Structure 1
Amino acid sequence: MDRFTSITAAEAGAAKTSVVVESFGSTWLFTLARKAWHPKGGKHVSTVGSLPVAPATRYAAEYLRSIFTPGTKAPLHVHSGPEAFFAVSGDTCLETPAGVQTARGPGTSLMIEAGPPMLLMAIGTVPRQGFALILHDADMPPTTLMQAWHPQGLCARQLSSDQAQKPAGN
């Protein structure tokens, strides 16, 4: 992920596998490439990955932008490819049958492989603004909603702990 001063500058630095996005007050260049690749210009913000993808004839990349207030959660779902998250602000909690992952603060990232059911929740005390990428087999749906799995409430406990530690008056 790289940040640029304008769409024109980002497009000039892009590769064939790049996407230019204006969001959260910045111009972003998202690129699927080997770790050593860097665009011309811009400011490198983060390298998220590598992503564990299964062999496929062709891939599709679905990019998402989200704003979650603390306590907001995505519906229970699974992905047909890995998903990577990047926080512009706020804190993230991801619960799966294997347990919980958290990322706190701007510039943090998380990743989950294809397959396990998941619950994504904003925790902390400030809104979580962020991006996600689902890189999947183009012949499969990127996301499937599900109800068969029941989270243990690990992210809700994180949120309760954060709220209890929040200074009075905030």
Structure 2
Amino acid sequence: MIVCATCLTTFAQEPPVPGMCNVPVSQRAGDIGCYLTATETLGALPEDARFWHVYNYPTRSAAEAAKGPRGTVVEAFGKVWLYTIAASTWKPTDGQRAAVVGPLPIAKGTNYTARYMEAVFPANMATSVHVHSGAEAWYVVSGAQCLETPDGFTVLRAGQSGLVPAGPPMRLSSVGTDTRRSVFLVLHDTAQPWMTDTGDWKPKGLCPQ
């Protein structure tokens, strides 16, 4: 079964899950799916702005008050999040740190867009094989996910974070028995699509079930 660039399928080749990572989270139709929480056009980034800072706040107003340059406030999974692309040493005045993910590969002179999303995938659900025009980074809220690329596989569990640079074909899947909930970023070249399906590589099924 061949699917569109932003469609998500299960191992059993069921229909795409809701949202397809393009529908705004405010329009979500159910609990399961991949939804867009925010996009920010950042332009060319400073050399040291290579880290995604992920913080939680008790209220949206508190997060907005702490927001600085390249900061974005979203609400996901019953929490308020402040996302910021900045140097590794950046810290807000308050808030609870969930993760600092990086270093994110960036190129001098390239204009970037930060695309923030959230995903809820039950066990054994996976994305199509795809590539990104920029790094993808995750923070896993619950459950576990497995990333398979031609170089192998990596499993992240609740409370863990990770990233993959632009370029390699990949497939992400939920593993274990718990539903995976994650927030994630694709920091991509503004002049290119954030995601493209590819048939150039077939996963070996390395991820645990």
TM-score normalized by structure 1?
0.89
Q: Secondary structure at the match of 2:107?
A: coil
More strand by share: 2
Query: Aligned pairs, how many?
Result: 156
- Distance apart, 1:78 and its partner CA: 0.1
- Distance apart, 1:38 and its partner CA: 1.0
More displaced stretch, 38-47 vs 50-59: 50-59
- Distance apart, 1:55 and its partner CA: 2.8
Partner AA of 1:152 in structure 2: K
Query: Is 1:133 aligned to 2:133, yes or no?
Result: no
More displaced stretch, 141-150 vs 48-57: 48-57
Q: Which residue pairs with 1:167 in the alignment?
A: none
After superposition, give the CA deviation of every residue in 1:129-153 in whole Å (9 maximum; x if it has no partner). 0011111111111111112210001
- Distance apart, 1:54 and its partner CA: 2.6
Runs of 4+ aligned residues of structure 1 deviating over 6 Å after TM superposition are none
Q: Which residue pairs with 2:116 in the alignment?
A: 63
Are the structure 2 counterparts of residues 56 and 90 from structure 1 closer, same or farther at C-alpha, using a change threshold of 3 Å? farther
Paired residues of 1:101 and 1:110 also in contact (CA < 8 A): no
- Distance apart, 1:53 and its partner CA: 1.8
Structure 1, unaligned runs of 5 or more = 160-170
Partner AA of 2:75 in structure 1: E
Q: Which residue pairs with 2:47 in the alignment?
A: none
After superposition, give the CA deviation of every residue in 1:43-85 in whole Å (9 maximum; x if it has no partner). 1111111101233331111111000101010111000111111
Q: Equivalences for 1:6-21 in 2 at 5 Å?
A: 6-21=59-74
Q: Which residue pairs with 2:171 in the alignment?
A: 119
Query: Is 1:82 aligned to 2:135, yes or no?
Result: yes
Aligned-pair identity (%): 42
Query: Is 1:4 aligned to 2:4, yes or no?
Result: no
Q: Secondary structure at the match of 1:10?
A: helix
Q: Which residue pairs with 2:206 in the alignment?
A: 154
Paired residues of 1:87 and 1:130 also in contact (CA < 8 A): yes
Query: Is 1:93 aligned to 2:166, yes or no?
Result: no
Rounded to whole Å, the distance in 1 between the matches of 2:95 and 2:120 is 24
Structure 2, unaligned runs of 5 or more = 1-53
Alpha-carbon RMSD across the aligned residues, in angstroms, is 1.0
Rounded to whole Å, the distance in 1 between the matches of 2:153 and 2:146 is 7
Partner AA of 1:111 in structure 2: L
TM-score normalized by structure 2?
0.72
